[in-house]
Structure 1
Amino acid sequence: MGEWSFLSALLDKVQLHSTILGKVWMAILFLFRIFILAAGVDKVWGDEQANMNCNTKSPGCKNACYDQSFPLSHTRFWVLQILFVSTPTLIYLGHVLLVIRRENKLRRRVELKFIRHGPIKAPKYSNEQGRVQVKGVLLFSYMMQLLFKVLLEVAFIVGQYYLYGFILMPSKITFSEYPCPAPIECFISRATEKSVFIIFMLAMAGLSVMLNIMEMFYLIISKMKDKKRTSVASEK
């Protein structure tokens, strides 16, 4: 898990500025995707090409069969998926940290009563503990990162289907192109075990999409309720 520690530290900071559903998404990302990927998948897949047995010893035939069937290893594909899907959240974190930094400077100016350009606006997104309220420009930034996460997850789910052409791992692959002199059969090791991991990672990606969509609706409904409450209070 050492190679994931830097990403883990960054995403842990996002939890301070996320909703409840955002925290659940973070837990799923680490506990059910990164942890499983780091702890178990590499041992199941191992050296895929070396573990694949073909009924031929023709030079280059086994390599061509593997390359056509698996243009990109499942494990490397999932690593790319996690990194790409995490990127919008990290961009949002950068925006939050920028807002906090600006408002901390503003807070210090207020404390020192240093006014050069008229009245100083009070900080409206963060408090003195560095906690932010998801509203205004931060709400837009948060919604955009949720939207991009949904789009990226869906793109990787569709991409996995088009890249490999199947969901379950086949136990046998038939290959008849160059440089094989005749049609050959290659057998995949631990095909059933690999199929379980493929289904599991697809299910986690689908759950991630659902959580992000639910969070978008949750934010929209909660902000509409807040606006309604404010309007009722102002009328009174």
Structure 2
Amino acid sequence: MDWKTFQALLSGVNKYSTAFGRIWLSVVFVFRVMVYVVAAERVWGDEQKDFDCNTKQPGCANVCYDHYFPISHIRLWALQLIFVTCPSLMVVMHVTYRDERERKYHAKHGNKTKLYENTGKKHGGLWWTYLISLFVKTGIEISFLYILHKIYDSFYLPRLVKCEVSPCPNQVDCYIGHPTEKKVFTYFMVGASALCIVLNVCEIIYLVSKGVARMAQKMKRRERTLALHERLNDQPFQPISLYYQCFPFNAT
């Protein structure tokens, strides 16, 4: 996988992210992608070759390895990183769509008028797109943690596993290569994934609270406008005095 291209593709997300989103992206690339590329791939390497069973029965070691490792940790993490970063592209695509609409609007009405005050500002549909992307990312993180825990029954990696799957003649002992290193990296990647979940939840709370505060301000402005109209309707014969009551100023 070309991680440089992947990083360049997501580099534009930072322009439209909140502070929590920028921290999340840094954690993904520094503590997950970098660790994955620099160290984790080398630790796992050809793990099937390192899986050694105390039998010479043809096919026994392969069957036992497939039984205990139906999907490799390293490939599962690669899928997780791809799936968890794809929702962020929804935001970039939405902003690109807004930019295109703005360009067409300028071509039709001239550059003096604007369709959007700021195409990257998280208002309206872009706010919903950003919020949905956060929920999707959080759901993907939790799903992959559950899959990892479900497949291996825990995040713990034993040194020895006992296998009695056909064509093994009886119960055989199989030894996992570099179990301590693999266990450390497993815990590290699980911890980084949990940290990303916490950051996503914080960003959701932050985004929702800002949306609620913005709606509350709009409602207050609307109530003030309605109250002003009611006062104008109640005093139709005193427009000048009412004007000075609503907009006082110093005559000197």
Instruction: Provide TM-score, normalisation by structure 2.
Output: 0.84
Q: Does 1:194 align with 2:182?
A: yes
Contact 1:99 1:125 in 2 (8 A): no
What is the CA distance between 1:112 and its match in structure 2? 6.1
Distance 1:107 1:63, change over 3 A: same
% identity of equivalent residues: 33
What is the CA distance between 1:125 and its match in structure 2? 5.3
Distance 1:112 1:201, change over 3 A: closer
Q: Does 1:227 align with 2:226?
A: no
User: 2: distance between equivalents of 1:152 and 1:110?
Assistant: 43
Contact 1:125 1:132 in 2 (8 A): no
Amino acid at match of 2:114: A
Structure 2 residue aligned with 1:104: 103
User: Displaced runs of 4+ in structure 1, greater than 3 A?
Assistant: 229-234
Q: Report the structure number with the largest CA radius of gyration.
A: 2
What is the CA distance between 1:45 and its match in structure 2? 0.8
Structure 1 residue aligned with 2:245: none
Once the two structures are superposed, residues 48-67 of structure 1 have per-residue CA deviations (whole angstroms, 9 ceiling, x without a partner) of 01012211111000001100
User: 2: distance between equivalents of 1:125 and 1:136?
Assistant: 12
Q: Secondary structure at the match of 2:110?
A: helix
Structure 1 residue aligned with 2:70: 71
Structure 1 residue aligned with 2:150: 162
CA RMSD of aligned residues (A): 1.8
Structure 2 residue aligned with 1:62: 61
Amino acid at match of 1:186: C
Give the alignment of 1:60-139 within 5 angstroms: 60-111=59-110, 122-124=114-116, 126=118, 132-139=120-127
Once the two structures are superposed, residues 81-104 of structure 1 have per-residue CA deviations (whole angstroms, 9 ceiling, x without a partner) of 111111211122212211112112
Count of residues in Structure 1 that have an aligned counterpart in Structure 2: 224
Contact 1:125 1:135 in 2 (8 A): no
Structure 2 residue aligned with 1:179: 167
Instruction: Provide TM-score, normalisation by structure 1.
Output: 0.89
What is the CA distance between 1:233 and its match in structure 2? 4.8
User: 1: distance between equivalents of 2:144 and 2:37?
Assistant: 19
User: 1: distance between equivalents of 2:188 and 2:103?
Assistant: 44
Q: Secondary structure at the match of 2:100?
A: helix
Contact 1:173 1:185 in 2 (8 A): yes
Contact 1:88 1:145 in 2 (8 A): yes
Structure 2 residue aligned with 1:9: 8
Structure 2 residue aligned with 1:118: none
Structure 2 residue aligned with 1:203: 191
Once the two structures are superposed, residues 91-149 of structure 1 have per-residue CA deviations (whole angstroms, 9 ceiling, x without a partner) of 22212211112112223433368xxxxxxx732252xxxx6100100001111111111
Q: Secondary structure at the match of 1:39?
A: helix
Q: Secondary structure at the match of 1:185?
A: strand
Contact 1:173 1:186 in 2 (8 A): yes
Q: 2:135 aligns with which of 129, 147, 153?
A: 147
